[in-house]
């Protein structure tokens, strides 16, 4: 490793050997694992198909969105969908 220690939430130390084992399991298709296929994206509850949309933004607004998305570990698309969902949820609540 790089000299840094990585500890999982449950207290388990993530070692080079553990990472190597995970990589080998992934490369071998997770033998013995039962995988249930599903539609959509695992990280989003709504699986309705998405289509690209174009909007016009100033450079300043674009940079602000990119910076906030990065701070929140999100893509710009995910950030934009979340912002629009939040705004539209006020219409449903009204």
Residue 38: both structure tokens together: 């599903």
Above 90 in pLDDT, residue 58?
yes
Residue 2: both structure tokens together: 């790089």
Above 80 in pLDDT, residue 86?
yes
The radius of gyration computed from the CA coordinates of the chain, to the nearest angstrom, equals 20
DSSP per position, 15-60: -HHHHHHHHHHHHTT-TT------SS-TT-S--PPP--------HH
Mean pLDDT for 24-29 is: 90
pLDDT one-digit tens code per residue, 42-57: 666 666 777 899 999 9
Dihedral-angle region of residue 61 (phi above 0 means left; psi in -120 to 50 means alpha; beta otherwise): alpha
For residue 62, give the H/E element and its range. helix 59-71
The predicted pLDDT at position 84 comes to 92
């Amino acid at each position: 490793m790089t000299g840094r220690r990585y500890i999982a939430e449950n207290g388990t130390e993530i070692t080079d050997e553990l990472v190597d084992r995970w990589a080998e399991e992934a490369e071998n298709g997770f033998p013995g694992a039962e995988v249930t296929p599903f539609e959509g994206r695992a990280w989003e509850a709504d699986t309705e198909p998405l289509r690209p949309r174009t909007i016009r933004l100033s450079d300043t607004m674009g940079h602000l969105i990119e910076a906030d998305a990065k701070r929140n570990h999100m893509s710009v698309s995910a950030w934009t969908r979340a912002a629009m969902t939040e705004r539209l949820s006020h219409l449903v609540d009204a």
